[in-house]
A and B are shown apart, each in its own frame.
Chain A
Amino acid sequence: MENKNIILDIQDLEVRFEVDGEIIRAVNGVSLTLEKGKTLGLVGETGAGKTTTALAVMHLVPDPPGIISNGNILLNGKDVMGMSKAELEKIRGKEVSMIFQDPMTSLNPVFTIGEQIAESLEIHEQLSRTDAMKKAKEMLELVGIPGSRASDYPHQFSGGMKQRVVIAIALACNPQLLIADEPTTALDVTIQAQVLELMKELKEKYGTAMIMITHDLGIVAEVCDEVAVMYAGRIIEKGTLDQVFNNTLHPYTEGLFNSLPNIKDRKSELLPIPGLMPDPVNLPVGCAFEPRCSYARAECSLRQPESRMVSDHMVCCSAYDHPDFHIKRKGGKYVE
């Protein structure tokens, strides 16, 4: 039964924010499932709703002004939406952990990093202070930081090392699901590579399922088994890495690939996607991508496209009502 293997099941999630009388529709009907041990890449531009979706999984969407207006989130079969505060506090950091984008601000400046790791252990594993500190030092070693530095403060570390500490905190209690929200965006490229390597190793060692939120397709190719592409609060394409990269279906996804500079073809023009993502306060009636889509037809602006299976994976595009439709990008492995 697949059921036992599914760590996360999100069904029709809708999240909106009410600010100053306006309604910001951040997440508009997101559904996805993730199996244990697998890594899902959640891809999209800034503002697509990725972080909000992730926060919703841990019920961390700030309320006010955020409201989860619809949807079910089942973590290991348990309904997150229905949990009490105490239950939520129990699963956060223990069954599901999250690491955030900016390591510079994620650590509390007035506590040592050892204390910050140990706190997680004290809460969830009921370890004593001394035992927790010991384990904290082990975690530090695991992420490549000497255990003796456990009594140092965050300001004494560089960005890359801070992010390692954040990873150590997140993995201290061996969560089954790790949500990483653009963990390397704020880091230098070389450090980026190191941190990614580290995450891959730990993921394999512990069998942790992971959601990797990123706008960088390169990272997706490195680390992910599955990919879900988000646009304006919806998942517009979803499949395995191979399916999405080599059998791209959605015009937006195609646009993302096209806007990557091709180092082998220096003379060709960069093809950015024209226009901007729609204002989440003012979403159009029809397909949200239609104004920027080079394949758009009249009916695209009239109604929401439905998600459907096309060839081997899911896509959300009305153009596929026409059985002959295909986008230009076809096949070819993704070349670094």
Chain B
Amino acid sequence: MYRYIINRLILIIPVIIGVSFLIFAILDQAPGDVVHVITGGGATQQEVEALRAELGLDRPLLVRYVDYMKGLLKGDLGKSYISGRSVFEVYTERLPATIKLAFASIFVSILLSIPLGIYAAVHSGKIGDNISMVAALLGLSMPNFWLGLILIITFSLQLKIFPSGGNEGLISLVLPAITIGTGLTATLTRITRSSMLDVIRQDYLRTARAKGVNERKVINKHALKNALIPIITIIGTQFGNVMGGAVLTETVFAWPGVGRLIIDSIHARDIPMVTGSIILKTITISIVLLVVDLLYAAVDPRIKAQYSKGGS
């Protein structure tokens, strides 16, 4: 089992290398120059050259990249071109806000999706099912930045219940969490429903009924535990995604999280910041996925057996 975990952790490394090179290379080609951003365009040619030399921007791409990787190996993610602060420091400063948002959104979506998905599966083919599915599809089809704006219009501006931005306590978490949560709910409900539908057809439920287990327990205990695996996968992936930075929602709600950080850095061509943030984000997602895979093992004994045998 431990071998499996170690294996997975090791696999993250090539991904980091690949991602960092990709981002580095692409952004390097970008028009626009971080120096101009820093100086605001009001610097002389000499000052520009000096700044470039200082930041090491006068060297060729590969040299800079190798330097960067050397730094990475030492655990140093470099410094932001703009602020000069350590990338790691800035990222971890903004991280808690995004974590809060991620947890809240996932919580909202689980609360809504799983009962809804179970309901739709049990009443499959009937009106309740159709309505649930259309509602889920609606949630999926809404651009979430639009939903955020609509929520702001209704609850912030007109009803004045919730603040329209910023991160002041629990109350400002509500609207952003609902915004992200709705989109997640749509997918999660559909997965819950289809997974439950698969399980509902299984023979072992018939065995349970023949034993005299009451119907509610048949669904909520015997069926659900088996249906959990795809559900957990999706929850995990979603969590990973939101953790990666819910860029749009953070923009709409002026939420001081990691997503906005990355966008601002991209606009500013702050390559170390962008690369570093994306790398950290990738590591986070990989760890989340690892935790998800471990959760499978807790739920399904067959998978646990597979892991222990040294497979991956």
The residues of A with any CB-CB pair to B shorter than 8 Å are: 58, 60, 85-86, 88-94, 97-98, 100, 102, 105-111, 119-120, 123-124, 153, 155, 166, 169-170
Tell me how many residues of B have a C-beta within 8 Å of chain A: 21
Compute how far the CA of A102 lies from the CA of B207 in the bound complex, rounded to whole angstroms.
11
Known: A110-B300, A110-B301. A105 touches B202 (CB 8 A): yes
Question: Judging by beta carbons under 8 Å apart, are B212 and A89 in contact?
Answer: yes
Known: A100-B203, A108-B204, A153-B301. A60 touches B226 (CB 8 A): no
A95 and chain B: residue at smallest CB distance = B212
B228 and chain A: residue at smallest CB distance = A110
A247 CB → nearest B CB, Å: 36
How many contacts A-B (CB < 8 Å)? Answer: 75
Kindly state whether residue B206 has any CB partner on chain A within 8 Å.
Answer: yes
Can you pick out 20 interface pairs between chain A and chain B where the beta carbons lie within 8 Å of each other? A58-B210, A85-B215, A89-B212, A92-B210, A92-B212, A93-B211, A100-B210, A105-B202, A105-B203, A106-B204, A107-B207, A108-B226, A109-B226, A110-B226, A110-B299, A110-B300, A120-B211, A123-B211, A155-B302, A169-B211
Using A105-B202, A111-B222, A123-B212 as known contacts, list a sample of 9 further A-B pairs with CB atoms less than 8 Å apart, ordered by residue number in A: A60-B209, A97-B211, A105-B203, A105-B204, A108-B222, A109-B302, A119-B211, A153-B302, A169-B211
When A and B form their complex, which 5 residue pairs have the shortest distance between CB atoms, in order from nearest? Answer: A93-B212, A92-B212, A93-B211, A105-B203, A108-B204
Question: Judging by beta carbons under 8 Å apart, are A92 and B203 in contact?
Answer: no
Interface of B is mostly: helix
Question: Judging by beta carbons under 8 Å apart, are A107 and B213 in contact?
Answer: no
Kindly state whether residue B59 has any CB partner on chain A within 8 Å.
Answer: no
B226 CB → nearest A CB, Å: 6
The residues of B with any CB-CB pair to A shorter than 8 Å are: 202-204, 206-215, 222, 225-226, 299-302, 305
Pick the contact of B207: A88, A153, A155, A169 (CB < 8 A): A169
Known: A108-B207, A108-B222, A110-B226. A94 touches B305 (CB 8 A): no
Question: Judging by beta carbons under 8 Å apart, are B210 and A110 in contact?
Answer: no
Query: Chain B residues near A85 (CB, 8 Å)?
Result: 214-215
Compute how far the CA of A21 lies from the CA of B79 in the bound complex, rounded to whole angstroms.
70
Question: Judging by beta carbons under 8 Å apart, are B212 and A155 in contact?
Answer: no
Query: Chain A residues near B208 (CB, 8 Å)?
Result: 108, 119
Question: Judging by beta carbons under 8 Å apart, are A124 and B212 in contact?
Answer: yes
B202 and chain A: residue at smallest CB distance = A105
